[in-house]
Amino acid sequence: MTTTTHVLGYPRIGKQRELKFALEKYWRSEIDQDALQAVGSALRENSWQTQSELSFVAAGDFAWYDHVLTTSLLLGHVPKRHRQGEIDLDTLFRIGRGKSQCSCAGFAASDMTKWFNTNYHYIVPEFSADDEFSLAWPQLFEEVKQALDLGHKVKPVLLGPLSYLYLGKEVEPSFERLSLLPRLLPVYQQILTKLHQLGVTWVQTDEPILALDLDARWLDAFKPAYQAIDCGLKILLTTYFDAIDSVFERIVELNVDGIHIDLSAAEHPLPALVKALPEHWVLSAGVVNGRNVWRANLNEKLAQLGDIKALLGERLWIASSCSLLHSPVDLELERDLTPETRSWFAFAKQKVAEVALLGRALDGDEAAIHACHQYSQPIIERGSAEHVNKPNVQQRVNRISAAMAERSAPYSERAAHQAEVLKLPLLPTTTIGSFPQTGEIRLQRSAYRSGKLSQADYQQAIKGHIQDAVARQEALDLDVLVHGEAERNDMVEYFAEHLAGFQTTQFGWVQSYGSRCVKPAIVVADIEREQPITVEWSRYAQSLTAKKMKGMLTGPVTILCWTFPREDISRQTITEQLALALRDEVADLQQAGIEIIQIDEPAIREGLPLKVSQHQAYLDWAVRAFKIAAGSAAPQTQIHTHMCYSEFNEIIESVAALDADVITIETSRSNMELLQAFEEFNYPNAIGPGVYDIHSPNIPQVEWIEGLVEKAARKIPLQRLWVNPDCGLKTRTWPETEAALTNLVLAAKSLRRKYAQSA
C-alpha cells in the first residue's frame, strides 16, 4: 500500500532569486524574451528534480508575476484597456505593472491585494457583464509537456472556477461576477480535456475559498459547476489556510475524486471526515506546514495519521498543507546559522523531503520510521529548552494587568496636555517616518555588514544622513520631524535584529509578487528587549532641532504578521511579548525627551482570521497588545499610529479602541472616501489622512492638496486633522520628496490663513 506523496506547489523565484533578477533585466531591456524563458525553464526543471522523490511533481504552479494573473491569461480574460492584439507575455506584464515592454503605451495596472491571510499578493481579476472567456494562453500545457518529456509523473495545478471568480471584482455597477460562471465553465472543460489528452491522470484544482464563510449563493454554485466540467480526468479538490468541516457535507456531494485539507492551519475532526468521505475518494492530508519554516515533528504526524492510514490505505495521500510558494527555497544556503538553530528549520526543499519520508514511514518502512524519530528530536528537545522558553519573559507576560493596557488619562485630557506641551499649529504637518533610502545608504549598510566599514564609521555615516534629513525638513518648515530611518533596512527586520528571540537569515527570501521578494525574520524563542533599540538615534535627531521629533516604532501585530511565528505558542502570546518589549522602548524614548512616538500597525487588518466568527477574538488581543505597548506613555506624550490601505468599515471600532492620539491612514487614492468610515463612526481622536500617494512619482499640486484637506474637514473637525503623505517615503527620490513636501507645507499654511480669516 504505497502512500501517494505530493506538494501543492513550489517556490518560483529560485535559490538565489534568479527569477527576480531575470525579470528586472527583461523589464530594463537588458535581455530578450528567449533569455527570460530560458531562466524560467531552468527553474522549473530544478523544482521538478527536487520533487522527483514524490509520487507527483507539480506543474502549472510557476508564474512570471502571479498565478492568478496567469490564470486570467489562460482563460483569455484580459482587462479591456490591455487588449492589444494577441495575448502574449508582454500582456501579462502590462496588466501586472501598468507598463509595456513593447513600443505601445502602457495602461494602469490592475489592482493587487493579499492572497487570503498570507503576505503574498495577487493581481485582482476585473469582471464586466459582457466578459467572454476562451482558451488563450498555452503556458500550463507547455509546462506540463516539459515535465512529462523529462520523465516526471505530473499533477497540474489549476485555480478552480469558483475561487477565480470570487477573488476578482466587478468593474461596473448592477452586476454580479458569479453570473459569469456558465460562460467560464466550458473553458475549464477544455482545459481539463486538453490535460487528459496530454496523458495526465490527476489534476489539482484549488478552491481555497471553501475555507471562508461563504454565503449560500457561492456554496450552491459548486455542485453544478463540478458536474459541468466532468471529463474523465481525476480531480483533487484542494483547500487550505483554514478548516472546512463546516461545509464538508456540501463538498462530498461534488463530482471530484478527492479532497485536500490543511491540517497545519486548523484542527479538523479527522475521524468524522474520514467516515463521511465517499468510498472512491482520496484524502490528501496537508500535514507539512507550507507557510512556515519549522521542521515538522514527524513522530507527531505518524501518530496523527496511523489510524487514518489503517482505514484508508492507498486512499490516504500525504502533502504540504498549501503551496510551498510561501516558504524560503533551501535551508542549505544558510551557512551562518548555529547547528542547533539550523536543526529547527525546514525550507521548501527540506519540506519536500519531509513529505517523502513521512510517506515511506506510513508504509511501514522501518528505516524511514527510525529516520522520522531521529529527525524529530531537535524540535522535541527545544520544547523544554530554557533559552527558548524563558521563565522571566513568561512571568512578565503572566503579570500583564488590565491597567497596563490603558493610558493614564482619557483622550480629551491627553489632547489638552499635548496642546499645551507641543504647541503645534492648526493642521500640523509631518511625514510617516522614512525618507529616501539612497544608493549611498545601501552601500554603507552593505559595507558595514560585510566588515568593510567599522561600526564607528558606519554610525558616523548614519548620523550624517540624519543630519541631512533634519536640515531638509527644517528648510521645508514641516512642523513635526522624523529622523528618516537611514539605519533601518526594513521596518520589521530592523526590530527583529535588535530583539532577543528572533533569527534572521541570509537567503530566506519569499516571493511577494512579480520580482518583489521579502525576507521575513523568524521568532525562535521568547522575545525580550535587552537594551534600547531606537533611543540613541532619536535622541541624536532631536538634538539637531528645536522642533518636535517623532520616535518611530513598528507595532507588535505588524512584527508578528510580517515574520515567521513560532508554532509551539500562540500568536497572541508572541504579540504580548512584543508589546512588552515595545512598552519599554516607549518609556525610554519618553525619558530621552521624545514627546511624540509613532507605533506603526499597517498589518493589523490583514491579521484577521479567514472565518468572520473569529474576527473579534483576534481584534481584542491585537488591540490590547497595541495598548500595552503605548501604555507607558504619559498623558503629554502623543502616540501616533499608521495604517495602510484597509477596509476600515470592518474594523473601525477596533481602530478607535487603539486609542492612539493620532492615526495616519492612506486615503489619497480613494479621494478621501476612506474617511467615510471614520465620519460615520464619529471617530473621537485626531486623524492624518494621506494627502498624496507616495507610490507615484507624480508631484501633487498645492490646489489638489488643499482640496483634499477641505474635503477631509467636512468629515473630521478641523482641529483634529493633520496633513501628511499617505505612507513612508523610503522608495522615493529626494527631488520628488522635497517637491511634494514643499507643496504639502504650502497647502497647510494657505489653509491656516484661510481658516483664520473666516474664524
- Give the CATH number for residue 528: 3.20.20.210
Are both 341 and 459 inside the same structural domain? no
Residues across the chain? 759
Helix (H) or strand (E) holding 510: strand 510-513
Phi, psi angles (nearest 5°) of residue 170 = -80, 140
Are both 372 and 441 inside the same structural domain? no
Distance CA 356, CA 3 (A): 9
Is the residue at 204 inside a domain?
yes
At 156-203, the pLDDT tens digits run 999 999 999 999 999 988 899 999 999 999 999 999 999 999 999 999
Catalytic residue, from 373, 483, 498, 695: name it: 695
Distance CA 320, CA 354 (A): 9
* Mean pLDDT value across residues 33-53: 98
Residue of 2, 46, 6 whose CA lies nearest to 203: 6
Is the residue at 592 inside a domain?
yes
Are both 286 and 348 inside the same structural domain? yes
pLDDT exceeds 70 at position 388: yes
Are both 463 and 332 inside the same structural domain? no
Is the residue at 126 inside a domain?
yes
Specify which residues 513 forms β-bridges with: 516
Distance CA 18, CA 365 (A): 37
Is the residue at 402 inside a domain?
no
Are both 680 and 569 inside the same structural domain? yes
* Mean pLDDT value across residues 95-121: 75
Number of domains in the chain: 2
HSE at residue 92, side-chain half, CA atoms within 13 A, is 25
Is the residue at 400 inside a domain?
no
Specify which residues 204 forms β-bridges with: 157, 236
Q: How many CB atoms lie within 10 A of CB 535?
A: 18
Are both 368 and 506 inside the same structural domain? no
6 is a catalytic site residue: no
Is the residue at 390 inside a domain?
no
Alpha carbon separation from 520 to 29, 379, 646 (Å, rounded): 30, 21, 22
**Distance from first CA to last CA of the chain, Å, rounded?**
84
Are both 183 and 85 inside the same structural domain? yes
Specify which residues 664 forms β-bridges with: 642, 688
Mean pLDDT of the chain: 94
Are both 362 and 445 inside the same structural domain? no
Cα angle, residue 209 at apex, residues 208 and 212 outer, rounded to 5°? 120
Q: How much is the pLDDT for 646?
A: 61
Q: How much is the pLDDT for 697?
A: 75
Report whether 607 contacts 561 (CB < 8 A): yes
Lowest mean pLDDT across 37-46, 115-124, 479-488, 648-657: 648-657
Phi-psi region of 76 (alpha: psi -120 to 50; beta: other; left: phi over 0): left
Residue 759: band (very low, low, confident or very high) from pLDDT cuts 50, 70, 90? low
pLDDT exceeds 50 at position 104: no
The three-state secondary structure class of 747 is helix
Residue ranges of the annotated binding site for Zn(2+) are: 642, 644, 666, 727
pLDDT exceeds 60 at position 100: no
Which of the pair, 749 or 698, is modelled with greater confidence?
A: 749
Distance CA 743, CA 748 (A): 9
Are both 716 and 750 inside the same structural domain? yes
At 511-547, the pLDDT tens digits run 998 999 999 999 999 999 999 999 999 999 999 999 9
HSE at residue 366, side-chain half, CA atoms within 13 A, is 0
Distance CA 285, CA 619 (A): 30
Q: How much is the pLDDT for 570?
A: 96
Which of 384, 399, 425 is at the close of a domain?
Answer: 384
Lowest mean pLDDT across 75-79, 190-194, 336-340, 663-667: 663-667
Are both 585 and 437 inside the same structural domain? yes
pLDDT exceeds 50 at position 299: yes
Residues 6+ apart with CB under 8 A from 282: 4, 236, 257, 258, 259, 312, 315, 316, 317
Kindly state the cell numbers that stand for 324.
510551498
Q: How many CB atoms lie within 10 A of CB 680?
A: 11
At 588-623, the pLDDT tens digits run 999 999 999 999 998 988 899 999 999 999 999 999
Are both 344 and 417 inside the same structural domain? no
Q: How much is the pLDDT for 283?
A: 98
Which of 348, 368, 384 is at the close of a domain?
Answer: 384
Q: How much is the pLDDT for 523?
A: 98
Are both 363 and 415 inside the same structural domain? no
Alpha carbon separation from 31 to 99, 331, 585 (Å, rounded): 17, 30, 48
Q: How much is the pLDDT for 79?
A: 92
At 427-445, the pLDDT tens digits run 999 999 999 999 999 999 9
At 417-431, the pLDDT tens digits run 999 999 999 999 999
Is the residue at 163 inside a domain?
yes
DSSP H helices in 150-247: 161-166, 181-197, 216-228
Residue 103: band (very low, low, confident or very high) from pLDDT cuts 50, 70, 90? very low
Residue ranges of the annotated binding site are: 17-20, 114, 119, 432-434, 485, 516-517, 562, 600, 606, 642, 644, 666, 727
pTM to 2 decimal places? 0.93
Cα angle, residue 599 at apex, residues 593 and 605 outer, rounded to 5°? 170
Report whether 11 contacts 58 (CB < 8 A): no
Residue of 225, 146, 234, 180 whose CA lies nearest to 72: 180
Report whether 594 contacts 640 (CB < 8 A): no
* Mean pLDDT value across residues 376-396: 96
- Strand arrangement of the beta sheet that strand 154-159 belongs to: 4-6, 316-320, 282-288, 258-262, 234-238, 202-206, 154-159, 57-59
Residue ranges of the annotated binding site for L-homocysteine are: 432-434, 485, 600
Report whether 723 contacts 742 (CB < 8 A): no
Residue 231: band (very low, low, confident or very high) from pLDDT cuts 50, 70, 90? confident
Distance CA 598, CA 663 (A): 9
Domain that holds residue 495: 410-757
Residue 123: band (very low, low, confident or very high) from pLDDT cuts 50, 70, 90? very high
Is the residue at 389 inside a domain?
no
Distance CA 249, CA 272 (A): 11
DSSP secondary structure code for residue 115 in this structure: S
DSSP 666-697: --TTTTTTTHHHHHHHT--SEEEEB-S-TTS-
Distance CA 694, CA 60 (A): 35
Which of 384, 419, 443 is at the close of a domain?
Answer: 384
Q: How much is the pLDDT for 105?
A: 44
Report whether 628 contacts 405 (CB < 8 A): yes
Q: How much is the pLDDT for 88?
A: 92
Residue ranges of the annotated binding site for L-methionine are: 432-434, 485, 600
